[in-house]
Amino acid sequence: MTTDAQASRIVRDAFSRHPLSWIDALPWVAVAGLYFAAGTYLPLGTQVMIAIIFALALDLALGFGGIATLGHAAFFGLGAYAAGLYALDISTEPISGLVAAGLVGGIGGLIAGPLVLRTRGLTLVMLTLAVATLLHELANSFKSVTGGADGLFGYKIAPVFGIFSFDLAGRTAYWYGAAVMAVVFFLCKALVNSPFGLAVRGIRENQVRMRMLGVPVISRLVMLYAISGALAAVAGGLSAQVTKLVGLDSLTFTLSGNVLVMLILGGTGSLYGAFLGATLFVVLSDRAAAVDPFNWLFAVGIVLILAVRYAPQGLVGLIEQLAARAGWGRGRA
Amino acid sequence: MKLTATALALMVDGVAYAMILFLMSVGLTITLGVMRIANLAHCGFAMIGGYLGFMLVSKAGFGVILALIVSAAGTMVLGAALERTVYRWVYTTGELGQILMTIGLAFVMIASVNLVYGNDMHALPLPSSLTENMNFGAVSISAYRIFIIVVSTVIAGVLWAILEYTDYGARLRAAVDNPRMARCVGIDVPRMFSATFAGGCGLAGAAGFLGSPFLPLEPFYALEYLVPILMVVAVGGLGSLKGSFLAALLLGVVDTLGRYYVPALGAFVIYLAVCALLLWRPQGVFARGGA
């Protein structure tokens, strides 16, 4: 039974605005601070930012639109291959390369969306998985374009704005990644606060009711899916430009699963979860994988089970609860 | 003549693969049909059955048939134990939570298997009577493929007889068709489901054992073959054993023929086929009542 108070809280949670607050400054303070503290771990910082962008993209689809997908690596991979091929064949200019990657991802979302989003539940999950696996096989088969198992490599990326060339220590890559992350984050923020963002959150809560209110449910979801796909592709493109290598692993089920784990650990539907989850996951997996990848998998498995059971709102949810208990912050709980 | 001989040998390969897929998918489709649980750890049970059988044959010197029975029973016990514990949590969460929890469980299985057996590939050491090729005129067919087809047909036949002719089978069919109505007429659906879950795990274990000569055992087995059995279940229609059987045959044969005749496309053919089939009929091609 839901009481009136509970019901109004649910509604408030579902449609609360996500205004800019002092919290939004934290990631950028951290980015600036880490630049001086990270030393040789600077490239890892860039990897974290790529993962955050990817997780933000997934949060749009999953956290705000309620689209359960097991195949978001499809878009990451599309973007990575697009950026790699763009650098090889068209131009080595980085920013237009990212735009191209985003466009390819968005078009991919517009094509796959109408097919996938007609279905619900397990069929939807299966189709997202099948589409991603399909792309993986395609990339594996068309070796003349994608390089097959060897991947794409040997391309150069021109300096950003023609000034900042990519250095071996990864300083330019770090700031470049931070800038892209900032653009993506504020885009997401604007999107979830827009009427469009409210409409997709409504669809997440109750599709039937939204349809009765006259909202074109499927086309709204397709639009969201395409935007999410475009941003995931930007993450992939960024990865391709920074590491100067695109492999088949950018399309795997493992990658789709990892980004989902990051987002779930961090918390869905708040955009902040992507920052917390991706940072924790990438840093810990880097350390643990160096020691023993299988123990890491064991830990991820256990944490995943416990997190779904005891912290369905992820780290963001836990922090909000603590904040509410301490009696400060917005105290949503 | 040569062409038909190859085609025939390929068909046998395809059917053997299909039977393995079918045995693996039985538990999954019933779980989905009755309890609406997407159990992504299901393939892990097949892996565990395979490793158990491998241990029994190579270390303890069991015969193949005895090892098959023991490893299926072992997997069944493990399935029952997990159903009583971890899966109680899985039942109470939403769709996404179920997917995440069972993936987490699959990760734990992968890591545990690696801890015990390392990450080398293992295959069942077969007695020489099963490794030879049988010659029928121009056609040469691996004896083990025939063995798989015979054994799994027997298992499938027993399964069919249980479902069709026993009281338990009638109750299970009622529960799959309409769980709420089945409860209303006094069928203890949760308890029956526990038993069925364990049975499904046992069948998956048997399939993991039988299939190990061509689906080699390694820690990532649990995720590697999850995709094909999920496809079988989705195409077959949730909860439909007959659907799973037909879908397994279709996918197993198409995949085997596709890989042989259009090697450039590799596994691409099968994924394209599944996407097309699911878009045509989202409820599963062989589901009753269609789309």
Domain boundaries, chain B: 2-118+139-217
In this complex, do B108 and A133 lie within 8 Å of one another by their Cβ atoms? no
* Tokens coding A109: 């979302």
DSSP B19: H
DSSP state of A158: P
β-strand B139-142 against A152-153: which pairing, if any?
unpaired
- By three-state DSSP, how is residue A16 classified? coil
Side-chain half-sphere exposure of B194, counting CA atoms within 13 A:
14
d(CA A212, nearest CA chain B) in Å: 23
B156 or B34, higher pLDDT: B156
- Cα(A273)–Cα(A72) distance, integer angstroms: 17
Q: What is the pLDDT of residue B22?
A: 92
Q: Select the residue of B96, B107, B230 nearest A298 (Cβ to Cβ).
A: B107
pLDDT bracket for residue B2 (50, 70, 90): low
Residue A1: the pLDDT is 45
pLDDT value at residue A10: 61
Q: What does the pLDDT look like over A208-254, one tens digit per residue?
A: 888 888 888 889 999 999 999 999 999 999 999 998 888 888 888 88
Strand partners for A194: none
A297 touches chain B (CB under 8 A): yes
Which of A58, A115, A126 should one mutate to test binding to chain B, selecting the residue with the greatest count of B CBs within 10 A?
Answer: A126
CA dist A222 and A126 (Å) reads 17
Q: Is residue A263 within 8 Å of residue A273, measured between CB atoms?
A: yes
Closest residue in chain B to residue A128, using alpha carbons only? B275
Residue with structure tokens 């968005």?
Answer: A106
Lowest-pLDDT range, A276-285, A291-300, B128-137, B203-212? B128-137
* Selection from B281, B278, B280, B257 nearest residue B269 by Cα: B257
Encoded tokens for A330: 């917005």
Domains by residue range for chain A, with CATH: 23-326 (1.10.3470)
Q: What would the mean pLDDT of B226-243 be, rounded to a whole number?
A: 84
Residue B228 tokens read as 């094909």
Three-state DSSP at B184 gives helix
Q: At what angle do helices A94-116 and A121-141 cross, to 10 degrees?
A: 130
Position A148 scores a pLDDT of 77
Contacts of B255 in chain A (CB under 8 A): none
pLDDT in tens, A18-40: 667 777 777 877 877 777 777 77
Least confident of A133-142, B66-75, B262-271: B262-271
Whether pTM > 0.90 for this model: the answer is: no
Give percent above pLDDT 90 in chain A: 24
Residue B7 pLDDT: 81
**Whether the predicted pLDDT of B240 surpasses 60:** yes
Would you call B228 helix, strand, or coil by DSSP?
helix
The CA distance from B28 to the nearest CA of chain A, in Å, is 12
Residues of chain B contacting A131 with CB distance shorter than 8 Å: 275
- Predicted interface score ipTM higher than 0.90: no
Percent of chain B at pLDDT above 70?
A: 94
Task: Inspect the interface and report whether the beta carbons of A137 and B267 lie closer than 8 Å.
Answer: yes
Residue A140 and residue B266: Cβ atoms within 8 Å? yes
Of A115, A126, A264, the CB nearest to B100: A264
pLDDT (average), residues B106-133: 81
- Torsion angle of C-alpha atoms B204, B206, B207, B211, degrees rounded to 10: 150
Say whether pLDDT at A15 is over 80: no
Q: Is A237 left (phi over 0), alpha (psi -120 to 50) or beta?
A: alpha
Predicted local confidence at residue A11, as pLDDT = 63
Output b/e per residue, A116-150; b: 16+ Cβ within 10 A.
Answer: bbebeebbbbbbbbbbbbbbbbbbbbeeeebbeee
Under the banding of pLDDT at 50, 70 and 90, the label for residue A195 is confident
Q: Which residues of A touch B267 (CB under 8 A)?
A: 137
